[in-house]
Structures are given as structure tokens and as C-alpha cells.
Structure 1
């Protein structure tokens, strides 16, 4: 049943890819043709399933082999984790910063252009960041007509990953009870829980990676051409979702290649490599062609070009460089809700870098300055408990005889992680990119507890289920209950660096907290002068609350209407929401389109999503100012008529819009809406 499930999901992914690229070629990537494609696909799929239906689906029988306690634990996982996450995925809007800035904004452009070719933008990452997850979002958004189900893509990838690690555990000979524990460890991964209700792409990537692992391990045990094809498709789609999948998959490719060469000979090994390479070229070919046509590079804009904005790859290679980034990436998972503890980890990290002679914040190796932190946020949460369990299991495994496949998985996990740390600069956001390492680690923990008494395994499972609950109810972007302030008070958890909120009276903060924080240090954040006892930390929490520092901590997703929470990550939340809500009343449903002149928020999906339900069918929203490099794109020549312009910087209005075309200007605190006298098709370049 698990294998059927993951094959079904991979097949859906492959069909999404093929249909998207094919319809895009003919500029008919529209809801009508997507409906038609899936209607035909569903009919063919049901016919083939009925004709080749299995007479004995193993699944219910396996569930019956579990003890009552294990069955109850699985049911609790469904009730306490799976269903609440499904509710959050549907009820809460896709309000992640990346969702608005590029994941969903580019989906809007694809639907408006009727193709996935590059388009003029002010956020070039919308073009060259990998796109497989967004292809899935495109189909969901087009077929449903709303964004209620776009978060479900990652929720489904979570279920697929849980199924695939369980299937790997079975393939490796672990008993049903151990398979359950392995699956629970994956399900309760903190960053995974937080990702499962977002439109990020990390869980989609780890799903394809674990499926690649499953079919690859099957090949190691028994060579079958069918598994070569499945493995190749999973690898290609995983890399097409996120490039780090290739870092983690590379050692497996070597391992599998050597074993196939040794057992089946050169001809079979070359054929296997050829299938994998051909699949990669077929999947990446159109995307690389689009990149090369605009950037002169298949990956991203070249350094020094006018479109270049970021260099994620490390710029210095050496042994101590790798040690530095390995240590800092591990540090992302070491944080606890204790400022004193986190400060001690920082001190250890500083001493380690002094010992190896590397600057801890070398810009050639890091995009962010290192600090140990504990956050429950869907971009950067750590996974300390599972990390400890994996380390214990890894050390134990090294002293075991045999267990060659598990030791191979350990080596691949370590090598893949080292390759990642050696290739990509350190970022606070990288904990979600480590998910493949933790997926592999669950198998090592499964082997460790394989011979434990059933009661011990069950206790471990319940422990991880309980520790997962805060990440479900207290997600900063989607809080189910307003417990954040109370938990900070109980824990005496204070910010080590106090950042005075935008618009707040800094003098009031200095007067109330000047004896604790060093306000002589440069803004924007002031460091804590020294570690403080629990009672004083509670006093600071109380004072911060009196200053409205924790006003966001009282939020929960039932407090306001759904659209309100599109803006929860905004620096000026909730003012931006109210500002836009007021301006949206000025936009008539008969509007041709709204041109975007943005500076602070480079994406506009949330504005589009709020306006779209009451606008005409052909209404659009696009950027009207962009760099001249985009003028060569066919999509830059599409006619876009707009009769309103929305901006977050009034200076842009003065710079680009002729006063003779303006009928009215409506201002709020953070946004400006311009109504034009008549629709315009003018685009502006710089």
C-alpha cells in the first residue's frame, strides 16, 4: 500500500511536469486545458487500475500485526498531527514570505501568460529558482480557482515522505513496529511539521529524495529495470524541485553505480547511467534553455550582470572552510528556549572557529552572521531531539558487525551533508534544507531500537509525538492558540538581541530596559549585557509585554478573517493589511488590471489573491517597471492594460507616472493607489 501510494504521487508529479511543459509550448496553459488533461488522465488511470488491479493489497493486514499500543499511537498521530496540519493547510492562507515573493507570484504570471516562459519581474528569483513544486501549485490553483488547497501540496509531500521512509525501513528488513517508529520520527520532525502547511518546496524535495532512496536501495538488493526508471524520475524531479537534492543523492549514485558495475557488468552500468542522465536532461532541458536565453547561463544570472542579485555558492574552498560551515549548520539545530544556554553554544562556536583559524562570519562562507537561536517558525526551526537520537544511533552503528547497508546510509548521509556545507553559504534558513539528512537518520534510529522491547519503542514514539505538539499549535505564521507570550513568561525566555519594533518609541524601551540591554551598541538590535537569573528574565518579559513588544504573541488564526493573516510576516503588520483593505474598496470590479510599483515587498501574490474573487475573468496584475534586459522576452511583449497602479513608495509614482494620466491618488500609511484617467499599456524600464 505504501509503495502504491508513493508511486501514485511520483506519477502525479511526472504528469504535472509533462502537461505543464507541453501546454506551455503551445501557450495554452489555462484552467480549461488543465481540466481537460486531468479528465482524460483520470479516465485512463481508472481504466488501467481496474484492468490491472491488485487482488491483495498488503496494508490492513500489516496494521493488524501491530500491538494495540502501536495502533493507538498511529491513530493519535492522525488526530494530533496529520489532521490539524491538514486543517491549517486549508484554513490558513499561504503567508510565508517566500510564498508571496516568488513561489506563488510566479504561478500567477504563468497563468496570466499561459506559459512558463520567463517574464519581466523585479524579483529575478521568480525565474531561476527551481520550479517543480510551483508546477504542482499551478495545477492546484488553476483547478480549484482559489488558494485554499495550495498548502496541501506540502502536506501531501509530508505523507508521501512518511510512507517512503516506512517503505525503506521494510525493504531493509525492519519489523512492522520499527517501521511505525521510523515513520513517526519523520512525521514529528519539527521543521517538517512547520513546512507541511506552507507553499515552500522543501518537503516536496525530500519526498522525491526519499523515493529515490527507496528505489535505489531496491536496486542494491536486486537489480530491476523498472526500479531504474522510478529511481531516475525521482532523482530528476527532486533536483528540479531543489538543487540540494543532488548533493544528498550524489553519494548514493556512486554507491549504486559501483554495485551495479560489480554485479551486473559494464553494459548494464552504462545503460543505468544513460537512463538517469537522459531523464535529467529531459526534465531540465526546457528550464535550462529558458535560463540560458535570458542569463547566458543555465543556472542563474552571471556574477557582474545587471540581473545578478545573490551568490549562494561558497567562494572559498578549504578543509577549515568546510569545518566552519558544518559546525554552523549543525548549530542551527542546537538552540533551546534559554538565552543563557544559547549564549554558551555561541561561545563554544566562537572558540571552535578560533581553534581552526576561520572567521565565523566570513562573507565568503556565510550569508548570515551566526547565532544560536530557538524559534518556532516555518523557515528556520531546528530539530535538536532527533539530531541527538541520530548521533547516538550513528555512534552505536559504528561498533556493530555487518549492517553494511545501514552503514552505507550513514556514510551517504554524512557525505551528502558535507557536500552541502562545502558548496552552499551558511544561512539561517538552511535547517529546512537539512531535511534529507534527518529522513536518512530516522532509519538509523530505527535500527538502534529494533531489538528494544516493544514498550521502549512505544515510549520513544509517544515522546516524539508529545514534543511535536508545540510546533503544530504555536507556528508563528499560523498560531492555533495564543500561548506564545505565556510560554515565554514561564520559561523566562528573553531576546538576546532586543530589536525595537518599527514605529515604537525607542526612548521608552531604553528607560525600561537600559539596565539590561546595551543601548550604546549600534542599531537596530541591542545586545543583552549579561546572563540573568530566572526571576529577572520574567521581569523583563513583563516589561516587554507592557511596551507591546509581544503584541503578535496574542495572535491566533481565529481572531481575524483569513485574508488578515496574509500579512502576518510583514514588518508593518497588521497596518499593511488594513491599508490595502481600505484601498481595495477603491478598485472597481470592472478594472482591466492593476500595475505594481513595489519596493518593500517584491511579490504581490497576497494582493492578487484578495482582489481576484471579485474581478472580471480577464483581470490581471503585473509589474510595470523592470530592467531593460527583460525586453527581449516574448512575454514582455504581451499587452497588459491597467487602470490602477499600486505602490509602496510614492516616489515611484512621481518618477514613472505622468501627472496628466492620473485621475486620483489614494494614500494610506504604507500604500498608495493611483487611479488612471484611462487604461494604459505603458511599461517602464531602467
Structure 2
């Protein structure tokens, strides 16, 4: 009997769903059938099939929930209610707030509109090459929602589903490592109340999605300890690894060592065929899921990881021990920062200079960034996790001394941490990039802290309970007054206009975008060209302008030249290189307001 079979069923279903969603996108794109009628028809058939197959499974869910509640003690019920209430608050925000994440406005969501407009996921001309080179796994799932609903009203639910699933996975891993029911609930609580998780669960970022797939790899690998892996389980492992690669390659820093552990376990059992053929199946599944996208990137940029300037902006260029040490210390300080601010930053900078490392050097620091950076305010791009982070690090250290699978798992966690600080530069928004490590680490924190919650010395038990309460309150604060989506205060989802909410990070742009869009719509222009900078927002144009016939008049891809400006009816421009006047003929009579310019082609 597998550990936590209901949770395992949900995890397997999630991997199957993600794989099917990706393969369908690639297949329909190749056939020229990537359009709304076809996707609706396929989902209708899938819904009927799943409804028939899953009816008896769902029938048994309610009794299990009732049995859980009846057997839970007061502490367990408090934890369950607190976690459920927090996710309910996130659900309200996710449904009421439109997508307004900064990166999503620039490259996560515009790519979906281009795919819909051209009926395929082939590359297209753009100056924002992150739309092409950044892994699209999460966006493939959003594409299904876009074609099914015709809009973005349900986009935020993808990350919310990943957050809830991440809590379930954390609890199951705790069970697989020997944790009792209370430890499992604590694991879910620590993950679910981490401020960066709470904030990302209402956004269209991708960090929770990649954490979901990494967590799926981890819990599926743990199932294979002590047995010859069945072939269907091998296929699921490969699919989860492929989804990790397709969503964000950094996830492989954890998924890779976990897969090596699985291979070693099969070899230890002398399951040579399972180890060899299973590895081939895993690689084949990864190629099936991520191969088409990686091939497009390789043929466009001569590297499957994208253009050089993107790779170098994120990855470490120095790997000497001194540079890695300073990188690790900066990442840890930024993640553990309290409301008191970057308290230890001066010491880290002093140490860096003492050992000959420039803490702001471009080869170990994201371009244009300066350390330190204030990370505590509950903002989805940077919020720290002092309580949860400390519990994870202590638990991961303590469990290194515990015999059994927990020790191996803790070792793999530290290996993934080491790989991250060796390969990924410090950056101001780095706290969201380690969400997959947070998910892997929360079971270790739970296994360490749970026995102390019932420790015979009440002072110790109260201290541990107090830490969980403080961590939960930080998560509640993130949902209540976090940014850029919050329940109360200025900018509340209950009191802010939907379009104002979209521009809540740049309200000045909101006024200018709407002014230009109103003029272009009034002119009757349908084929509109876009001129923009590398970090400006393209997505609002797809919302504000009538129709979906928008094209980029710039391109960073030599083999994908943009159309000439004479081919469009109008142009909208936001701060491109060389300025709008450089690109728009004077005869078009360009009009400028703030950062935005528009022009109508003379008739």
C-alpha cells in the first residue's frame, strides 16, 4: 500500500495533466489546429472520460476527509483551518485580481497572445527575446485556459493550484520520510504560509509551477526506495522531469540529483534492466515534453539555453570558492532578512573585500543590481522568509544526523542548495527563484520541529509553536497587505478598478496606454505595430486594442525579420531603443504623452 494514496493519486493526475497539456500544444501547433474550437472539443471529450473514470474515486474522498477531522486533535485542526483559510483568501484574490505581475506584462503573457494570433507556438519577431528563450511550460497550461475562456480571468488559478499541490506534496514527503500526521500538517503549513508562496499563488509567475514539478519528482522517487520501479512509474518520473525542464531549467538542480538517487537505488537492488532502460525512458520522456521547444531555441540561438546575454545575466561566471561563498551568503541574507532590514549585509560586504571579491561584480551579480537589497516588505518579487527559511535550514542540518532515508534526502537538499549558489547569481528578486528549494526543505523542517511541539518541557514546545504562529502571521500579512495584490488598504482587489489593477505597479503608464489605445481604436486601425523597450509592457496592448492583429516592428532574431512599418495601420510605441521618433515617419504625425507615443498611417 503506497504512502498517502489519495495524495499520490492527485500528484500522478497532475503530472499526466501537465504532460498532456504540453504535448497537445506542440501537436496541435504542428498540425495547424491550435485554435479555440479544437481545444474546446478536446477538453470536452477529456472531461467526459475523466468524469467516468474518476467518479468512484471522488466518492471516497468525503469519508476520508471526515475521518481525518474526527481523528485530529486540537493542534492539528488549528493547523488545517489556518492553512485552508489562507488558501481561501488567495482564491478570492486570484479570482478578483487581473494578471498584473511585472514580468508577465513583459514576456510571460504576450507570448500566449502571439501563439493564439498565429495559431502555433513557432517563434516570431520580437525585441523582447525572453518571450522566446524563457522556458514556456507554465504558459502552455495558460494557453489552454486562454483558448477555453477567451481571456485571462482564470490565469491566476494555475499558480494557486500549484501552491495547494505543493503543500500536499510537502506533507506526503514528510510522511514518506517517517513523519506522523502532525508532522505532515506542519510541513504543509510551513510551505503554505511562506510569504513568497502566498503572494505567488495569486500571480502568473512560474516559480510555483516549477516547484510543483520538482516536488513531484521528489515524492515519486521516494516511492521507489526498496522496490523495482514499475514501468508506468518510470514514465511518470520522466514526464515530471521533462515538465521541470520545460518550466524552468533551474529546477533540474534539484530534480537531477533526485533522479541519480533513483538510479543508484535500482543499481543497488541489482535491477540492471530497470536502471538502464528506465534511464532511457526518462530521457525519452524529457525529450518528448521539452524537446520541441529546446530545438526551436537551439536553431534560433545556437544554444538550447538561449542567447548569451540572457544566460550570462543569470548564471555565475566565477566559480572559485571565495566567489561562491559570497554568493551563498548574499542569497541567504536576502532570503532570511527580517523587518529590521539587511542587518548582516555590511559584514558580508566587508568579508567580500577582505577575500578579494567585489560583491557587486557583474560576473557574480545580476546586471545593474547592487547588494544589499531590502527584501522584507511583502512584495511578490522579493519578499523574504525569515521564519520558514530558518526552520528549513535547521531541519536540513539536524536530519543529516538521522539514519535512514531522511539523511539521504537532507543530503540531496544540501546538494541542490550548493548547485544553486554555484550556478545562479545573486539578484534582488532571487527569493522567488528558490521556491522549489523551499518546497523540498519544508518536510525536513517539519520532521525536526514536530517532536518539539509536544516536548515535555513546555517552554520549548511553546517556543516552537510560537515560531509557527509568527510564520503563519507573515503569510497572512502577505495575503492581506501584500503587493501588488492585496485584500485591504490602497490598491485592494475589492476597491480598485480592474484596469487600474493591471497597471498598479505603473499607474502613470496606465493613463498613457489607455490614451493611446483609445485613439488607435477610434481610428479604425486593425493591424497595429508595436515598438517597445526590452522591459516595457507589451501585454496591455493585447487587452486595450481591438482585435488580435498586433505585430512587433523590431526583432533581435536575425532569421526572423520584422514587417516594415508601412504594412501596419497604426503604431504604438513605449520607450524603444533610439526613441519613438527614430522609428516612426514624421508624416504619420506621431502623438506623445508621457512614455507612450502613437501614430496613424496616413491614408
Give the TM-score of the pair, scaled to structure 1: 0.80
1:86 pairs with one of 82, 91, 113: 91
CA 1:606–1:452 in 2, change beyond 3 Å: closer, same or farther?
same
CA 1:186–1:175 in 2, change beyond 3 Å: closer, same or farther?
same
For the Cα contact (< 8 Å) 1:178–1:446, is it kept in 2? yes
Partner of 2:3: none
CA 1:309–1:62 in 2, change beyond 3 Å: closer, same or farther?
closer
**Could you tell me how far apart the structure 1 residues matched to 2:423 and 2:344 are?**
24
1:610 pairs with one of 527, 544, 549: 544
**What SS does structure 1 have at the residue aligned with 2:434?**
helix
Please list every run of 5 or more consecutive structure 1 residues that lacks an aligned counterpart in the other structure: 483-553, 679-686
2:593 pairs with one of 668, 671, 674: 668
What pairs with 1:245-284 in structure 2 (closer than 5 Å)? 245-284=251-290
CA 1:575–1:363 in 2, change beyond 3 Å: closer, same or farther?
closer
1:281-335 superposed Cα distances (whole Å, 9 cap, x missing partner):
22222112211221122221246xxxx7854222222222221211111111132
Partner of 2:356: 357
**What SS does structure 1 have at the residue aligned with 2:225?**
helix
2:395 pairs with one of 389, 393, 396: 393
1:389-425 superposed Cα distances (whole Å, 9 cap, x missing partner):
123323433444x2x2111121111111111111122
1:425-480 superposed Cα distances (whole Å, 9 cap, x missing partner):
22112211212222222111221234345576766544432231111112221132
Query: CA shift at 1:580, angstroms?
Result: 2.2
**Could you tell me how far apart the structure 2 residues matched to 1:436 and 1:282 are?**
23
**Could you tell me how far apart the structure 2 residues matched to 1:180 and 1:466 are?**
17
CA 1:586–1:181 in 2, change beyond 3 Å: closer, same or farther?
same
2:521 pairs with one of 574, 588, 593: 588
**Could you tell me how far apart the structure 1 residues matched to 2:473 and 2:308 are?**
47
Aligned residues: 584
1:579 correspondence with 2:512: yes
**What SS does structure 1 have at the residue aligned with 2:13?**
helix
Q: Which moved more, 1:266-275 or 1:146-155?
A: 266-275
2:483 pairs with one of 465, 476, 480: 476
**Could you tell me how far apart the structure 1 residues matched to 2:591 and 2:494 are?**
30
Structure with bigger RCO (C-alpha 8 Å, 6+ apart)? 2
1:642 correspondence with 2:568: yes
**Could you tell me how far apart the structure 1 residues matched to 2:258 and 2:509 are?**
47
For the Cα contact (< 8 Å) 2:79–2:186, is it kept in 1? no
**Could you tell me how far apart the structure 2 residues matched to 1:458 and 1:205 are?**
30
CA 1:352–1:639 in 2, change beyond 3 Å: closer, same or farther?
closer
Partner of 1:322: 324
1:138-169 superposed Cα distances (whole Å, 9 cap, x missing partner):
11122111211111110010011111111222
Q: Which moved more, 1:109-118 or 1:640-649?
A: 640-649
For the Cα contact (< 8 Å) 2:400–2:406, is it kept in 1? no
Query: CA shift at 1:59, angstroms?
Result: 4.3
Partner of 1:346: 345
Partner of 1:623: 552
Query: CA shift at 1:644, angstroms?
Result: 1.9
1:301 correspondence with 2:274: no
**Could you tell me how far apart the structure 1 residues matched to 2:239 and 2:534 are?**
39
**Could you tell me how far apart the structure 2 residues matched to 1:176 and 1:38 are?**
37
Partner of 2:152: 147
Give the TM-score of the pair, scaled to structure 2: 0.90
**What SS does structure 2 have at the residue aligned with 1:585?**
helix
**Could you tell me how far apart the structure 2 residues matched to 1:312 and 1:381 are?**
19
For the Cα contact (< 8 Å) 1:331–1:372, is it kept in 2? no
**Could you tell me how far apart the structure 1 residues matched to 2:337 and 2:155 are?**
31
1:538-570 superposed Cα distances (whole Å, 9 cap, x missing partner):
xxxxxxxxxxxxxxxx44334431111222223
What pairs with 1:236-635 in structure 2 (closer than 5 Å)? 236-302=242-308, 310-339=312-341, 342=342, 344-367=343-366, 368-373=369-374, 374-400=376-402, 402=403, 404-453=404-453, 461-482=468-489, 554-570=490-506, 574-588=507-521, 590-599=524-533, 601-611=535-545, 615-616=546-547, 619-627=548-556, 629-631=558-560
Q: CA RMSD in A?
A: 2.6
Query: CA shift at 1:27, angstroms?
Result: 2.2
Partner of 2:582: 655
**Could you tell me how far apart the structure 2 residues matched to 1:75 and 1:123 are?**
44
What pairs with 1:127-166 in structure 2 (closer than 5 Å)? 127-166=132-171
- Larger helix share, 1 or 2: 2
Q: Which moved more, 1:357-366 or 1:284-293?
A: 357-366
For the Cα contact (< 8 Å) 1:219–1:228, is it kept in 2? no
**Could you tell me how far apart the structure 2 residues matched to 1:561 and 1:193 are?**
23
For the Cα contact (< 8 Å) 2:316–2:363, is it kept in 1? yes
CA 1:644–1:214 in 2, change beyond 3 Å: closer, same or farther?
same
Which has the larger Rg? 1
For the Cα contact (< 8 Å) 1:27–1:113, is it kept in 2? no
**Could you tell me how far apart the structure 2 residues matched to 1:93 and 1:652 are?**
30
**Could you tell me how far apart the structure 1 residues matched to 2:69 and 2:176 are?**
17
Q: Which moved more, 1:156-165 or 1:586-595?
A: 586-595
For the Cα contact (< 8 Å) 1:123–1:603, is it kept in 2? no
**Could you tell me how far apart the structure 2 residues matched to 1:667 and 1:637 are?**
23
For the Cα contact (< 8 Å) 2:16–2:236, is it kept in 1? no
Query: CA shift at 1:51, angstroms?
Result: 8.1
**Could you tell me how far apart the structure 1 residues matched to 2:602 and 2:306 are?**
40
**What SS does structure 1 have at the residue aligned with 2:383?**
coil
CA 1:230–1:59 in 2, change beyond 3 Å: closer, same or farther?
farther
1:335-371 superposed Cα distances (whole Å, 9 cap, x missing partner):
22225xx2x4112212332444322222211113220
**What SS does structure 2 have at the residue aligned with 1:674?**
strand
What pairs with 1:88-107 in structure 2 (closer than 5 Å)? 88-107=93-112
CA 1:461–1:655 in 2, change beyond 3 Å: closer, same or farther?
closer
